[in-house]
Structure 1
Amino acid sequence: MEGPALSAVADAPAGNWVDRYAPPKVRPYLQLARLDRPIGSWLLLLPCWWSTALAAGAARQPFPDPRLLILFAIGAVAMRGAGCTWNDILDRKIDRMVARTQSRPIASGAVSVPAAFAFLVFQALIGLAVLLSLPRFAVITGLASLGVVAIYPLMKRITSVPQAVLGIAFSWGALMGWASVFRSIDDPALLLFAGSVCWVFAYDTIYAHQDREDDAIVGVRSTALLFGQASWLALALCYTATVILFAMALLGAGSGILAWIGLMAFAYHLHGQVKRLDIDDPALCLAIFKSNRDAGLILFAGLSLDAIGQHLASIWLS
């Protein structure tokens, strides 16, 4: 039986639109899908958009395909919600022992496990509808990610680097945009994917520092516990690898000056994150983690403007 919905979840932003406007019966499901904190959807979406924009520049398209950008946005929200629902089903006992997560809908009893499964299927069907709207090669590429998505919530029980598995899952979109444009996966897409894995590994390490003490108590693992006070060095190395791999992707795709300016601005943002980080300040860790949306949008803007600029240049030179 489902219990009464809580008015808010502890780790959601205060005054978010779900808590303010959603009907009480719907609210716990929106909270379960994390629609009260959209940062995860942004971070899942951005590699898709990067890949679409990088492919547009390589194909000398006038701009990134708006249809693909919209489809990826819908898919990111649906699949992030499905992933969070699956995570909360598996982690319901752990969530009850952690102050930041014990008010989540399943852990608190606001949503029953059977109802959560039904909601998971609903969200997955939306994601499937989006996937089937893509070219066949991209459909096959997308389906190949499901195994990684399914096992991620279990990784913190068996490995100290669950962030590496999350990196693979959240970076799959770096292949999807390119696959949708070229019907293949080429070196630039693979390099973009590898760089994105490093990026996700780093920013989720920052996020994990919020729960470092609780994780140690309940016996789950993370890179925050693994690296401890050496986290700044691990982050610096991961972010450096991210920028190098992205630069190699730009070279392989034949990107122009605007893409390189976007990458330099992105790199500067990552440098600032490492410089500001205090792993003993949970609020700052959360703020720096969330700032990766802005970093990603900066890179997307550079890639998109470069596609537009290269197309105009090709017209002018023809």
Structure 2
Amino acid sequence: MHNIIETKVPHYLKLMRFDKPIGSLLLLWPTLWTLWIVSEGRPSASLFWIFVMGVFVMRSAGCVINDLADRKIDPLVERTKERPLAAGYIAPIEALALFVALSIVALCLLLALPSQVWPWAIPAMAVTIGYPFMKRFIQAPQAVLGVAFSFCIPMIYVAMSRDFDLVFLLLVIVNFCWVVAYDTAYAMSDREDDLNIGVKSTAILFGRFDRLAIGVLHLIVMLGLLAIKYQLHLANHFYFAILIVGSMFAYQHWLISGREKIPCFQAFLNNGWVGAVIWFGLLSGFS
């Protein structure tokens, strides 16, 4: 039994993407942005830790359900063929049990939040479960991911008894556009495999206008950040964060200019720093 556990645990961790934290970071940053904005730079320790832990638990659960959904597709893609389910290191029933365990942990975290937040967990979980299947049915599954990765925003507002205001709307738009932009770059790195397999993505939908679409989405993000700055009367330090974000977006466009796999994936990874810059900008903006 001990040897079996030692053999399986690394595969369970890989299934939850512990070796690839970028997804957790991309979900963490909008969570921290919202916590800082709603609390005006002074989030409570309890809410901070509940939402941060929730980020890592829900991202892990999302990865597990994603690999369950793609267990017959992943072996056909060079980048994903060694994932634990695709390679046969873990059985589907084991992955399902892990998803249930993670969901129970997420439920415990939810129950620690004010009761008015609880109903929001139902659509959040539904989108988490449904997203991996969307690439088979809709042309823009990245839009569903944008919704999934934005659920933290209303949940934090509700947890802190704040009304949905203009800043709330701006946060949702900024994060949604950012998610679709970076996941389109990610999809550009998989476009040939996706076309061969028959799954859908915005990289395929936008076609030769993929870079233009990402550029428009980046512009909306920049304008949204400027609007948030003015609505919250943030210190002028926030301008530097926006300037840095703009330069990082320009760097990403240079990376994707040739539409090659590795540079497109590097452009996707660069967004882990984009989210951090915005958060640090908020830290200085509220000081």
Q: Same-fold call, TM > 0.5?
A: yes
State the partner residue of 2:156.
177
**175-184 vs 73-82, greater mean Cα deviation:** 175-184
Q: Deviations over 1:37-91 (max 9, x none)?
A: 010011011111010111122xxx5x33343332222111110110111111111
- Quote the offset at 1:172 in angstroms: 1.7
Q: Is the alpha carbon distance of 1:27 and 1:232 closer, same or farther for their aligned partners in structure 2, counting shifts above 3 Å? A: same
Provide the rounded CA distance (Å) in 2 between the counterparts of 1:269 and 1:135: 38
Matched, 1:55 2:34: no
Assess if the C-alpha contact under 8 Å between 1:46 and 1:300 holds in 2: yes
- 2:148 maps to amino acid: A
Quote the residue 2:10 is aligned against.
Answer: 27
Root-mean-square deviation (CA), in Å? Answer: 2.1
Match of 2:118 among 135, 139, 146: 139
CA distance in 2, matches of 1:197, 1:160: 17
Corresponding residue to 1:129 among 78, 102, 108:
108
In 2, the alpha carbon distance for the partners of 1:87 and 1:118 equals: 14
Counterpart of 1:70 (choices 9, 24, 49) is 49
Are 2:252 and 1:273 equivalent residues in the alignment?
A: yes
Aligned ranges 1:32-47 → 2 under 5 Å: 32-47=15-30
Any conservation in 1 of the 2:134–2:141 contact (CA below 8 Å)? yes
Where 2:18 maps in the other structure, the secondary structure is coil
**Superposed displacement of residue 100, structure 1:** 1.4
The alpha-carbon deviation at position 179 of structure 1 amounts to 3.0
Partner of residue 285, structure 2? 306
In structure 2, the gaps of 5 or more residues are: none
Offset, 1:269: 1.9
1:176-223 Cα offsets, whole Å, 9 max, x none, are 333333343322112101110000000000011121111111100111
User: Cα deviation per residue 1:125-145 (whole Å; 9 max; x = unaligned)?
Assistant: 122222222223333334332
Q: Which residue of 2 is the match for residue 110 of structure 1? A: 89
State percent identity of aligned pairs.
35
Counterpart code for 1:50: W
8 Å CA contact 1:52, 1:181 repeated in 2: no
Cα distance, 1:246–1:174 mapped onto 2, change above 3 Å:
farther
Q: Distance in 2 between matches of 1:132 and 1:121?
A: 16
Measure the CA separation in 1 of the matches of 2:249 and 2:18. 26
> Following the alignment from structure 1 to structure 2, what is the Cα–Cα distance between the partners of residues 71 and 267?
31
Confirm or deny: 8 A CA contact 1:135 1:183 kept in the other structure: no
Contact 2:235 2:284 in 1 (8 A): no
Match of 1:119 among 98, 102, 108: 98
- Pick one of 271, 275, 286 that aligns with 1:296: 275
CA distance in 1, matches of 2:247, 2:151: 24
* 1:95 to partner: Cα distance: 1.1
- Taking a change above 3 Å as real, the CA distance of residues 65 and 305 of structure 1, as seen in their structure-2 partners, is farther
Partner Cα separation in structure 2 for residue 65 and residue 269 of structure 1: 31
- Amino acid of the structure 2 residue aligned with 1:51: T
Relative to 1, partners in 2 of residues 1:179 and 1:246: Cα closer, same or farther, differing over 3 Å?
farther
| Change in CA separation of 1:132 and 1:246 when aligned onto 2, cut-off 3 Å | farther
- 1:282 is aligned, of 261, 276, 283, to 261
User: How far apart are the structure 1 equivalents of 2:246 and 2:106?
Assistant: 32
Count of equivalent residues: 285
* 1:279 CA displacement: 4.7
Distance 1:260 1:67 in 2: 30
Q: Does 2:75 match 1:96?
A: yes
Give the whole-Å Cα distance in 2 for the aligned partners of 1:231 and 1:125.
Answer: 39
CA–CA separation in structure 1 for the residues paired with 2:196 and 2:284: 48
Query: How far apart in 1 are the matches of 2:246 and 2:114?
Result: 33
Counterpart AA for 1:232 = R
Change (3 A) 1:55 1:175: same
User: Which residue in 2 is equivalent to 1:314?
Assistant: none
Gaps of 5+ in 1: 6-21, 310-318
The answer to whether the 8 A contact 1:55-1:182 is kept is: no
